[in-house]
Amino acid sequence: MGAALALAARGVGQSWPNPAVGCVIVRGGRVIGRGWTQKGGRPHGEAVALEGCDARGATAYVTLEPCAHESGRGPACADLLIEAGVARVVMAALDPDPRTDGAGAARLRAAGIEVVTGVRAGEAEAQMAGFFSQMRRQRPHVTLKLALSLDGCLALADGSSRWITGARARAHAHLERARADVIVVGSGTLAADRPRLDVRLAGLEGRAPSPMLLGRGPAPAGWQHAADLAGLCGSGAHRMLVEGGAGVAASLLDADLVDRLLIYRAPMVLGGRPGVGALGLDAMPHGRWRAHPAIQLGPDRLETFTRIR
C-alpha cells in the first residue's frame, strides 16, 4: 500500500475531476502491474495497472475503493478487476462518491474476491483531501500560503516585499503549486505584483495550476474569476492554493474556509504590514489548529498547520 500511495502522489494536482489513486498488482511475491490516475482523471489507476499483466489469482492494492459506476469516459474498475481474475483486493479508503460508496467492495465480494478495507486509510484520505472535501462539504480543500517575517509581516510599511524568503523556500512553494488544481490571488496582489503563478521546478514546468482571481475583476485572459467566497467555493476544484494577499487571507480565515496553513517564515523583522488583515474579532476564536513539525528550508522555516474540525 505504501507503493500504491507513492504512485498516487504522481497524479496529485493532475487528476481533477477525479481523485489521484494508485494501484499495485502483486502475484507470487512480485509486482506485475502498477498504475496511477492519469492527467485529467482517466484512465483510472486500476486500469493502468491491469494493462498488459496477467492478474489471475493476484492481489491488487488500491488507495481508494474501486469505482462501481461506468461512465462515458471508461469502465468501472470493480468490473475490470473481476474480469482480470484477481483473487484479493486490498484497499485504503472507501469511496465517498455516492455512485460507489461501498458498492465497489460489495461487487468484488459478490464475485468471490477477498476484500480487505481500511489499510492506511488515513494517509489515503489526507492525500485525496480535495476529493473528500468536495464529497463531504461541497467545496475545495483550501491551503493558505503565507510568506512572513518573524513578526508576522509580509511587507515593509511602504508595501515593498519582494522575496523575503530564500530559494529553497520558494522552490518548496512551487512544489505546492504543482500539487494544486487552482491557485488563487486577490485583486490587490494581482495589481501590485502581476504574479506569474507558474511552476519553476525542473521537470514540473507543465504542472502549473489554473489561476483564479478572487474579488474585483476583470481577470486576465485565461484566468478563472470568483467575485466572492461563494464563487470560490463553487469552483468545483479539489485542491486550492491561496497565495495572497492579506485581505484575501483574512476573509478566508474569517469564513473558516482554510483547511491547511503553510507559513514560510523568513528570519528577519519587518515591523511593517501584517500578513493577515484585520479580523475584527471581539472574543478569542474557537477555531484550533494542529501544528505539524517544522521543516528547515535553507535560512527559512516552513510551519504547517491543519484545521481541527
> Closer to Zn ion at the Cβ: 77 or 155?
77
Smallest distance from Zn ion to CB 170, Å: 36
Residue 17's closest CA among 45, 38, 34, 35?
38
Burial code (b: 16+ CB inside 10 Å, e: under 16) for 148-163 equals bbeebbbbeeeeebee
Smallest distance from Zn ion to CB 42, Å: 9
> Closer to Zn ion at the Cβ: 44 or 265?
44
Report how many residues bind Zn ion under the rule CB under 5 A. 3
* 105 touches Zn ion (CB under 5 A): no
* 67 touches Zn ion (CB under 5 A): yes
199 in Cβ contact with 241 (< 8 Å):
no
β-strand partners of 39: none
CB-side neighbour CA atoms (13 Å) of 46: 28
70 is catalytic: no
Binding segment toward Zn ion, per CB under 5 A, in 42-50, 100-108, 110-118, 272-280: 42-50
Smallest distance from Zn ion to CB 44, Å: 3
Smallest distance from Zn ion to CB 13, Å: 19
∠ Cα 289 294 298 (to 5°): 145
Output the CA–CA distances (angstroms, integers) from residue 92 to 8, 21, 202, in the order listed.
Answer: 12, 10, 32
How far is Cα of residue 68 from the mean position of the Cα atoms in its chain?
A: 24
> Closer to Zn ion at the Cβ: 60 or 67?
67
* 77 touches Zn ion (CB under 5 A): yes
Out of 12, 16, 24, 44, which residue is the one contacting Zn ion (CB under 5 A)? Answer: 44
Smallest distance from Zn ion to CB 59, Å: 18
Is residue 198 packed enough to be buried (19+ CB in 10 Å), middle (13-18) or exposed (0-12)? Answer: middle
* Whole-angstrom Cα Rg for the chain: 21
Smallest distance from Zn ion to CB 191, Å: 43
What mask of x and - would describe binding to Zn ion in positions 277 to 296, judged by CB under 5 A? --------------------
Binding segment toward Zn ion, per CB under 5 A, in 44-52, 138-146, 201-209, 246-254: 44-52
Binding segment toward Zn ion, per CB under 5 A, in 4-12, 60-68, 217-225, 288-296: 60-68
> Closer to Zn ion at the Cβ: 81 or 144?
81
Q: Which of 46, 65, 176, 243 is catalytic?
A: 46
Binding segment toward Zn ion, per CB under 5 A, in 43-51, 132-140, 274-282, 290-298: 43-51
> Closer to Zn ion at the Cβ: 21 or 257?
21
| Residue closest to Zn ion when measured from CB atoms | 77
* 84 touches Zn ion (CB under 5 A): no
Integer Cα distance of 291 and 188 in angstroms: 29
Listing from the earlier edge strand, what are the strands of the sheet with 88-93? 30-36, 22-27, 59-64, 88-93, 114-116
Q: Which three cell numbers stand for residue 293?
A: 513539525
> Closer to Zn ion at the Cβ: 124 or 263?
124
The residues binding Zn ion (CB under 5 A) are: 44, 67, 77
Catalytic residues: 46
